[in-house]
Amino acid sequence: MRILHRYILKELLKAFGLALAAITGVVSLGMVLKALQDEGIGPVTSLLYVGLSIPGAAYIAMGLAAVLATTLVYGRLAADNEVMACQASGVPVSSLLWPTVLLAVVTASTNLFLAVWPLPESGYAAKRLSLADVERLFFTRLSSTGKIKVKDAGFEMSVDRVVGDMLYGPALKYRGSQGQTYAYAPYGRVEFDRKRHSVSLFLSDAQVIQENGREENRGTHIVGLTLPTEVPRDIKNLSLWHLLAAQQHPEQFSQVLKDLKEGEASPEAIQREKDRVRARALAEMHGRMAAAVGCFGLVLLGAGLGILFHSGHLLTAFGVALAPWLGTTLLTMRAKEAVADQLEHAQDALYLIWTPNFLMLLLAAGVLAHLVWGWMRPTRARLAATRVRDLFRGRVG
């Protein structure tokens, strides 16, 4: 029996390792391509970004790789009639599933470990890395979208075209010494000061309109802008213990709340922002924990589906494994968004996050129970039902 268990566990670990490496590589590549498109990171930065994106990619790929491995291995056992051979030799199907339970515990624990600290911390480090080269980011945003906005400085700019460091048709809105200021010029030039972390815009033949309605025509209008040096943490970039702290002290984790405290904001607006931070933190925390439960159920379900469908071929196993993983993931993500929108009663909607994952666990238990007691070996109840049916037929005849 131990030899059989070691054989199945070895095949599971081999398939799981290959699937995890392949899916993680694809997801990580997608993250890097998105950063290249949005942030314009350089070649060296791209290599560092790949390393930082691995924990997040592995977190996404963990469930799919595990259910694919169990579906493939047990599907191959069923397709080669090895499950039937074990049954004929007196080995129950429940005994064949112990390696699956072990793999389910390992993947669920690893998934939860990644969600506690490595996932948010690596995501924040990758975010800081992509925003580190401000000059490249500045021109990439202008070239791709035609506009850029620095919220902390109250600065917005749109351009018609960017060629090198030249801006054509720049239109600015910023808060200067005279209040809100608007400026437009046919063309302009950009200079960066990396030591001071600032940028200077030189607008030629600029037309400037002050907040008081005063309009001026200037030959060269210079606008200085100090770029933010800190990258704010989003709720998704907080560890589990910081998510707990955010629910108790939301003012420490929201830049909006800090800005509201400095200005003149109504108590209703402050309370609404606090409820929003609490709801988002609550939804994120429960979403990560529920994903570990769903991962445990997916692994068990993969073994049952593999035996039922005899999915020993890679494409068949992938098709069988993709449906439950995709359904659980999408439903959990949608439930997290729904809970985050419940500002006042977020706790009452937490069942939406846990329901898809517990249903996956119950579905896995049902499929395995059918295999152990219903499909492979008739129980006494089924034998009794058969005898009653035969007796009834005999009386009718």
pLDDT tens, 65-96? Answer: 999 999 999 999 999 988 888 878 878 888 89
In a shared domain, residues 115 and 173: no
- Tell me, yes or no, whether 268 lies in a domain: no
Q: DSSP secondary-structure letter at 115?
A: H
Q: Clarify whether residues 19 and 99 are in a common domain.
A: yes
Report the number of distinct structural domains present in the chain.
Answer: 2
> Residue range 7-35: average pLDDT?
94
Q: Which of 226, 242, 266 is a domain's end point?
A: 226
> 10 and 122 share a domain?
yes
Q: What residue numbers bound the domain in which 115 lies?
A: 2-130+276-389
User: Who has greater pLDDT, 69 or 45?
Assistant: 69
**Same-domain status, 108 and 168:** no
Same domain assignment for residues 347 and 300: yes
Q: Are residue 325 and residue 347 in the same domain, yes or no?
A: yes
Out of 226, 250, 284, pick the residue that ends a domain. 226
281 with 197, same domain: the answer is no
Mean pLDDT computed over every residue of the chain: 86
211 and 108 belong to one structural domain:
no
Instruction: Single out the residue of 55, 21, 68 nearest to residue 295, CA to CA.
Output: 68
In angstroms, the CA 219 to CA 217 distance is 7
CA–CA gap between residue 191 and residue 193 (Å, rounded)? 7
Confidence tier at 314 by pLDDT (50, 70, 90): confident
Final residue belonging to a domain, choices 184, 203, 226: 226
pTM value > 0.75: yes
pLDDT score for 104: 96
Structure tokens at 150: 């620095």
Q: Are residues 10 and 126 in the same domain?
A: yes
Residues 347 and 321 in one domain: yes
What is the average pLDDT across 299-325? 91
User: Does residue 152 register a pLDDT over 80?
Assistant: no
Specify the long-range contacts of residues 354-358, CB closer than 8 Å, at least 24 apart.
354/286, 354/290, 354/293, 355/331, 356/290, 356/294, 356/327, 356/328, 356/331, 356/332, 357/290, 357/291, 357/293, 357/294, 357/297, 357/328, 357/332, 358/293, 358/297
Of the chain, the percentage scoring pLDDT greater than 70 comes to 89
185 pLDDT above the threshold of 50: yes
